[in-house]
Structure 1
Amino acid sequence: MGEPMLDSYIKVLDVEPYFKADKLRVPLKFGKVVMTEVLSFIVKVTVENRRGDVDTGFGAMPLAEKWAFPEPRIPSEKKLKSMRLIAEKTCRLVKDKAGKRYQHPLDIMLSLRDDILRLAKEADKEAGLPIPTPVLGVLVATSPIDAALHDAFGKVNGISSYEGYSPQYIDHDLSVYLGEDFKGLYISDFIRSEKRSELPVFHLVGALDKLWKDEVDESDPRDGLPVSLDEWIRRDGVYCLKVKLSGVDVDWDVKRTKEVAEVAHQVLSEKGIEHFYLSADANEMNPTPDATLEYLRKLRKESPLAFNSLLYLEQPTERDLNKHMFSMREVSKIKPVLADEGVTDLKSFELALQLGWSGVAVKTCKWHSSSLIYIAKMERYKIPYSIQDLTCPGIALVHSASLAARTNPILGFEYNARQYLPFAYPKVQRRHETLFKVRDGKVRTDTLTDTGLGFAIRDIKDVLE
């Protein structure tokens, strides 16, 4: 890419890691696992641009080891020990390598990817893991650093980070990453020049979640917040629902989806709202695409209401796309099917498309930089995508919302921390009150500032408390 010519480019002066544990308000079941607590990695980065200006940026992400590293034979404590070591080692690596020359934030982590994967192997040995942390786990463990670099880049240059992906702020086009078809094209060509003022949210219906108020009992929290799905819909007006499936019991999955649709239809009708939308996530538990097809066929027969409301399916089969090379073409003829855990780089992205997946579930936990590149490609070729999260609280949620506000995902973005971590990071929630409070199924983005990723954060205490 040659020597940087732009004064906006940054070098890293410092990278400070922090960790914070939170217990979930209610258990979250997906696939074979139940999540009851999370450890978040939070990072502060200090950078300097070529003009000598200095500023800081922040990033955060729950490490979500049960999702990112699902090997059941290894206890969560060991997985988290390795992921934490990976995060800390990458902080030191970025401070060292990215402190020696000025670069655009898009290029910093992507250029260090191979080094980071090597560091991960060292961390795995130190943690005593019998098998390596998957690439997905490495991405999750390091994603806050990538986010913080983009945030700091925007702040030190007095711009929104999303303004910084045009030729005014980056001296190479997307052909560097996406080939000659993208010669002369930049990320700025594929994202919104202004953020959307409001975003629909996808409410998560976990496999253990209660659907009706009369199912709530003394074992449920009494904290003033809704517990059952009907209560959530009545309070927040949510009309986009992500349904967690078992993936191994087609009849249960069909029944569950049908029941969710009936709750949504009944409660929203009382509010004068006719339409609602579903997505379905089996978390890789369908053994083959045939099981996915069976689910769709039975759902269409038993609940036209649910079937017609179903927007897309998310990663119904295994994340290792190479293992069986399942073709998803027959599934995608019926409903769009998006790859999530299966896409961790451009190679797996391309493989997913070759195998007939309709598009990709974008998550900031797989790096902000990579997400932007995937989105550019999907926008160019009219490939559908969603924006999902990892039960992201605090600025992790703000980050996800800022990305959704500047792009064109299917309808809106997933926001389930209000269900499972509603009291985490109160300072951030107060600062972004209209972003955290859902009204008529949407959140407002007016609190997202015009510098950095929009966090409106200057002190690490405001992120941690």
Structure 2
Amino acid sequence: MADALPVRLREIELYERPVKLRLPFRFGVVTLTECPQAFARVRVEAAGGLGHWGAAAELMAPKWFDKNLQLSNEDNFDQLRQVLRLAREAYLADAAPATAFGHFARHHDAHQALCGRRGFNPLLAAYGPALVDRAVLDAVCRLAGLSFYDAVRRNLAGIGPGRPEFDGLAIDALLAGLQPRADIEARHTVGLLDAITGADLPQRVGDGLPETLEEAIAAHGHRWFKLKVGGQVPADLQRLQAIAAVLDRSPDPYFVSLDGNEQYQCAAGVAELVAAIRATPALARLWDSIVFIEQPIARKLALTEDLRGAQLGKPVIIDESDGELDAFVQARAHGYAGVSSKTCKGVYRSLLNAARCAAWNREAGEPLYFMSGEDLTTQAGLSVQQDLALANLLGIRHVERNGHHYVNGMAALPEAEQQAFLRAHPDLYERSHGAVRLRIRDGRVALGSLAGIGYASSAMPDFGAMQALA
């Protein structure tokens, strides 16, 4: 950790901009058609007065951080704004210098406790520091003239000291050995309202972009898929058979994650779905293609349910249950094998869980524990780039991508901002159908340009075109 760079936090600015979806996205209990995207912009200062700005972005998705049906989408947006403001206040209240990780370590417990007193669950509370921490890390990378990849491998952020969760995990050795690759598989989401074929479309958006599963495969060449189920076995079987009828046309292997979206109350309910799938001949190839099952049980029950005797036949991961830093430890004790990486939950949480997987697999002598890359409709620009870079550095070889499908790329952004990102990342983006958007070829996203100075972006959003956080 000789490279760790302490900094003071001088300014934290919070912004938002509206995002409208081109297609409705149904996940769990919500159908999303629009919501804001939040931005954090942070100025850090090192010894001697040298400073730099950094930034991060994340969608403010309703009914994911807090699925309380008594709350409206606007209530959820206000919750997320509040935890962002609380994080800003906490991080600016202490002027003492610290490493990028040190600022996180210093404030984590008090921020969680304060949010708990406001009625915010740990997953929701983590959203505020997740954005601020990424913006701080971006600024520190730029100050040091390093890429995110090199900064993490050299532990420029000073990861480890100050948090007991990192003790005994050989974090420096893990970080030094991380090796990003040139591309990553895009795991295409099939939401609960998504059309499978053209026959499922009552009317078309007509923007020339893919609107069905068939069209997405034809346009992007996907081999990896994330299939959402709704918790009603007959309806889920019918929908999965319609999906399998499309996927099974491919002469090449395909791979699937099955997302339970917290729709089940117990392991027995999940086992009922699994048994029904396995008993359906038309789903034989799809079942063989399933790599893991994601968060099938509601978060308030998931870490009390023991999966080890449930005969699920596939490894199971947590996602929404990953609210506290020790959640993966609890999940492992109840038979879960994996956990998701999402930048909205925090970059340091992902690195911590990667270190746990490495340590537990060494103990087991085989790769039993793993991380997946999941999406929260990350938008083109800072959000998708930082999430892709993190998943890539962790060695995750496929990541759910859905923001490019449900939103019309950068179409709503100023033209100059679109062009700046396209020039800076010509491998990651392309211009088509009137806007700059994520570029996917043969099911993969090219990542080479994310290795520039800073946290995965050589361009910046137009903050002057945004409004201050409401």
Name the TM-score, length of structure 2 as normaliser: 0.87
Counterpart for residue 189 of structure 2: 204
| Structure 1 residues 457 and 429, CA gap change in structure 2 (3 angstroms) | closer
- Whole-angstrom distance in 2 between the partners of 1:419 and 1:171: 37
User: Does the CA contact (< 8 Å) of 1:8 and 1:50 recur in 2?
Assistant: no
| Structure 1 residues 363 and 184, CA gap change in structure 2 (3 angstroms) | closer
Tell me, which stretches of 5 or more residues in structure 2 are unaligned? 362-368, 429-437
Counterpart for residue 361 of structure 1: 340
**420, 424, 438: which one pairs with 2:440?**
438
Q: Shift of the alpha carbon at 1:240?
A: 0.6
Residue type of the alignment partner of 1:265: D
User: Does the CA contact (< 8 Å) of 2:123 and 2:324 recur in 1?
Assistant: no
Counterpart for residue 127 of structure 1: none
Quote the RMSD (CA, aligned, Å). Answer: 2.5
CA deviation vs aligned residue, 1:25-79 (integer Å, no higher than 9, x gap): 1111112221111211101111122354311111111111211111011222223
**205, 208, 214: which one pairs with 1:230?**
214
Residue type of the alignment partner of 1:445: L
- Whole-angstrom distance in 2 between the partners of 1:108 and 1:438: 36
Tell me, which stretches of 5 or more residues in structure 1 are unaligned? 125-131
**230, 239, 253: which one pairs with 1:256?**
239
Residue type of the alignment partner of 1:419: H
Counterpart for residue 366 of structure 2: none
Counterpart for residue 417 of structure 1: 403
- Whole-angstrom distance in 1 between the partners of 2:162 and 2:311: 29
Counterpart for residue 96 of structure 1: 93
Q: Is 2:115 the partner of 1:120?
A: yes
Q: Shift of the alpha carbon at 1:5?
A: 8.1
Q: How many residue pairs align between the two structures?
A: 441
Q: Is 2:372 the partner of 1:386?
A: yes
Counterpart for residue 314 of structure 1: 294
User: Does the CA contact (< 8 Å) of 1:332 and 1:356 recur in 2?
Assistant: no
Q: Is 2:265 the partner of 1:287?
A: yes
| Structure 1 residues 397 and 459, CA gap change in structure 2 (3 angstroms) | closer
Residue type of the alignment partner of 1:133: F
Q: Is 2:360 the partner of 1:371?
A: no
Counterpart for residue 125 of structure 2: 138
Residue type of the alignment partner of 1:103: A
Counterpart for residue 158 of structure 1: 145
Counterpart for residue 265 of structure 1: 248
- Whole-angstrom distance in 2 between the partners of 1:463 and 1:236: 31
Which runs of structure 2 are paired with 1:281-360 in the superposition (5 Å)?
281-302=259-280, 303-321=283-301, 325-331=304-310, 334-360=313-339
Q: Is 2:2 the partner of 1:9?
A: no
Q: Shift of the alpha carbon at 1:145?
A: 0.9
Residue type of the alignment partner of 2:115: A
Give 3-state SS (helix, strand or coil) of 2:376's partner: coil
- Whole-angstrom distance in 1 between the partners of 2:465 and 2:216: 27
Name the TM-score, length of structure 1 as normaliser: 0.88
- Whole-angstrom distance in 2 between the partners of 1:423 and 1:149: 26
Give 3-state SS (helix, strand or coil) of 1:405's partner: helix
User: Does the CA contact (< 8 Å) of 1:363 and 1:389 recur in 2?
Assistant: yes
